[in-house]
Amino acid sequence: MTAPEGVLPSRPSGSGDGLIYGSEFAERLVQEARSFDPQSSLPPRRDRDLAISLYQQAIEAQPGAKVNAVLANRIAQLYNTFADKARGVYPRPDKAAEWWRRCLEFTDPTQLLWSQAQMGLASTTVMQRNPESAAAFYDQILAVDSNTIQLENWKRWGAPQTDEEAAALRQELERIRQQHRELQAKVRQMKSYAERLSERKTHVLEARENGQVSRATRRVLMFVLSGLLVAATLLVLRYRQRKLAA
């Protein structure tokens, strides 16, 4: 039986979650991190910063492991969205951006995660009120041909032994590629928001410099711009929340 496009050779087993770790120690660190990760734990055990520290240790314990891209992405997500006011823990878009850049270093454009990390970087620019900078990340995503996306290279994909197994793998590959197409559709929508916001901001600044806009009018225009910014931010957050829940 010939493996369909995108299917990786059989890998040694060992991990219960289907991921390929570089060492048993790294795997144990990830399991411990998940016990504190807000996505998979409950108060009072929930601890974002401790989970992040353990994920970082796991990355350091397995240099070159493909799964490090997944761990870096999770660290970025935690920094970008999680807040615990009681503990004085708030989102850190700057740290999220740092870890999404690390994620890009660990993966490549043939992986859906690469485009998702680009989307994450775009979301941090919106959260930091610099949506114009998001365009470069949107363009990176749109430049990828969805048909070149491959199965996740940090998972164990054994060579199919039957026609049914081969069909299942092809179906999984198409599902991932469809996810990428949907991401690109969302990116086009986000890019439209960013371009509209940038255009209006430019007009307001030019009019202000020329003395053509009163203070009251500027306030109204900036209110409108803020509304567009909020709308763009909500779209990003809704997308990220859907992915986290998937």
Q: Give 10-residue mean pLDDT values along the chain (246 residues).
A: 41 65 97 96 93 98 98 97 92 96 98 97 81 86 98 93 95 98 93 76 66 60 61 59 51
The overall pTM is greater than 0.85: no
For residues 229 and 129, is the Cβ–Cβ distance under 8 A? yes
How many angstroms separate the most distant Cα atoms in the chain? 74
Give the pLDDT of residue 240.
53
Give the pLDDT of residue 30.
97
Amino acid identity of residue 65, one-letter, is A
CA–centroid distance for 198 within its chain: 24
Give the pLDDT of residue 75.
98
